[in-house]
Amino acid sequence: MSESTEVTKEELSMIAFEIIAYSGDARSKLLEAVKQAKNKNMEQCEVLISEAKQCLTDAHNAQTKMIVAEARGENIDVGFLTVHAQDHLMTTLLLQDIIGNLLDIYR
- The model's pLDDT over 10-66, given as tens digits with 9 standing for 90+, comes to 999 999 999 999 999 999 999 999 999 999 999 999 999 999 999 999 999 999 999
Alpha-carbon distance of 63 to 101, in angstroms, equals 26
Give the residue, 54 or 77, on which the prediction is more confident: 54
Domain coordinates of the chain in residue numbers? Answer: 9-106
For domain 9-106, the question of CATH label 1.20.58.80 is answered with yes
Q: Which residues contact 45 (CB under 8 A, 6 or more apart)?
A: 33, 34, 36, 37, 103, 106
Catalytic residue list contains 60: no
Active-site choice (18, 42, 84, 106): 84
**Integer angstrom CA distances of residue 6 from 2, 11, 92:** 8, 10, 29
Q: How far apart are the first and last CA of the chain?
A: 44
The pLDDT of residue 75 is 83
| Residue 76: pLDDT over 90 | no
